[in-house]
Amino acid sequence: MPENIEGDTPVPWTAFFPHPSATRTLVFLTPVARCQKHHVHVPRTLWHVRAHQWRKGMSQRILFLVTVTIVLALVACERKETGAPEAKTATAQPEAKPEATTVAAKPEAKPEAKPEAKKETKPEPTSAPATKKQDAEEEVLQSEMVFDPRKPPAGYMRCHRNHCHRVGGGVASYKQVMAEIGATKLVGVPKQGPMPPAPADVAAPPTDAEKTASGLASKVMSPGDGKTRPEPTSVVTVHYTGWTTDGEAFDSSVSRGRPATFPLNRVIPGWSEGVRLMSVGEERRFWIPEALAYAGRPGKPPGMLVFDVELINIR
């Protein structure tokens, strides 16, 4: 039992237990009171020491339990891993038995393979002519150059109707493009219907035709709404047919079965001037002098041209 600092009265054992009630009872003890006079707090110091020792012991016990559980868990994992290969070896033993059957089956497969080899060699003479035909067809396709307007060749950026637009300006008809690239066949173009017949006054404008200061002559074939007229930069949708003065048709959206759409500032001057005189729904015939048409451009119809135009829409 610990000795008291002053007097013979022993310190009770409750001072060593970490309980708040014990500290409250120690305050009324005579030794404590005598110690407090000299500013010596013996019971409080002993309680803190014992409490610290008790906490330290508990932490050590907890640490010991944690280490024991970790060791047990590792031992259990090792047992599971060592048991897995045993199961694999146990299952691997019955798998080795079918190998003997496959080895034994090899001599039985030899007589069966002989007639199969004979059957496979029979169709070889019949397949030889087929391959020769395919090779001949491929040679014909390679020797035949095809022009598809949907895929403009090099040097052209767009193909539509019956001509292609060159890179940097200018146009060329399908026949000219085919001659340049050496094509012998035209594909990807819908079949055209028959060209509309030439009118009776195709050779020259009649006396009742209207004439402008530029020399453009026109005649209204069917009136329109008389209200909506295109501007110089408008995009128009029209049906048209063009003839030379000898009655030969060279271009027609009617024969293609679909109208044409284009801006008025990108066509020949006679078209830009003449279509602006029309209203939506109107049909008019134009006699365009050569100066307002293609002006002798190579590959284009020469001389005065005659157009029947129907204005469908304006944008």
**Do the domain assignments include residue 125?**
no
Report the relative pairing of strands 185-186 and 283-288 from DSSP bridges. Answer: unpaired
216 with 308, same domain: the answer is yes
Cβ–Cβ < 8 Å for 224, 281? yes
Q: Is residue 230 part of a domain?
A: yes
User: For the domain that residue 258 is a member of, what is the CATH number?
Assistant: 3.10.50.40
Instruction: Say what the pLDDT of residue 77 is.
Output: 83
Q: What is the pLDDT of residue 139?
A: 61
> In one letter, which amino acid is 199?
P
- Are both 214 and 305 inside the same structural domain? yes
CB of 181 within 8 A of CB of 147? yes
Q: What is the mean pLDDT of residues 185-200?
A: 86
Q: Are residue 7 and residue 87 in the same domain, yes or no?
A: yes
Q: Are 26 and 12 within 8 A, CB to CB?
A: yes
Residue 197 counted as domain residue = no
* Count of domains for the chain: 3
**Distance, CA of 145 to CA of 189 (rounded, Å):** 16
- CA dist 166 and 32 (Å) reads 117
Confidence of residue 82 (pLDDT cuts 50, 70, 90): confident
For the chain, count helices (H), then strands (E): 8, 12
Closest to 308 (Cα-Cα) out of 197, 231, 227: 197
| Whether residues 19 and 76 fall in one domain | yes
User: Is position 134 within any domain?
Assistant: no
Q: Under the phi-then-psi rule, with left for phi > 0, alpha for psi from -120 to 50, and beta for the rest, what region is 314?
A: beta
Q: State how far the alpha carbon of 108 is from the alpha carbons of 21, 114, 119, 120, in Å.
A: 97, 12, 19, 20
- Identify whether residues 178 and 214 lie together within a single domain: no
Asked if residue 173 and residue 234 are part of one domain, the reply reads no
C-alpha span between 233 and 250 (Å, rounded): 26
| CA angle, residues 275, 229, 308, in degrees to nearest 5 | 30
Residue 42 belongs to a domain: yes
Q: End-to-end distance of the chain based on CA atoms, in angstroms? A: 115
- 216 shares its domain with 309: yes
For residue 84, is pLDDT > 70? no
The total of other beta-carbon atoms located within 10 Å of residue 203's CB is 15
The answer to whether residues 299 and 249 belong to one domain is: yes
18-44 per-residue burial string, b: 16 or more CB within 10 A, e: under 16: eeeebeeebeebebbebbeeeeeebbe
pLDDT: which is higher, 178 or 6: 178
Q: What is the pLDDT of residue 59?
A: 84
Residue 126 lies inside a defined structural domain of this protein: no
Question: Domain range holding 177?
Answer: 147-186
Last residue of a domain, one of 32, 64, 96: 96
Report DSSP letters for 174-217, one per residue.
Answer: HHHHHHHHT--EE-S-PPP-PPPPPPTT-SS--TT-EE-TTS-E
Average pLDDT, the chain: 76
Co-location of 13 and 53 in the same domain: yes
Do 220 and 180 share a structural domain? no
Cα–Cα distance, 105 to 141 (Å, whole number) = 52
Question: Is residue 198 in some structural domain?
Answer: no
- The per-residue pLDDT for range 255-297, each reduced to its tens digit, is 888 899 999 999 999 999 999 999 999 999 999 999 999 998 9
The answer to the question of residue 127 being in a domain is: no
- C-alpha torsion sign, points 71, 74, 80, 81: negative
Same domain, 179 and 250: no
Tell me the average pLDDT across 178-207: 89
Tokens of 310: 């129907």
In terms of domains, do 174 and 216 share one? no
Q: What is the mean pLDDT of residues 36-52?
A: 59
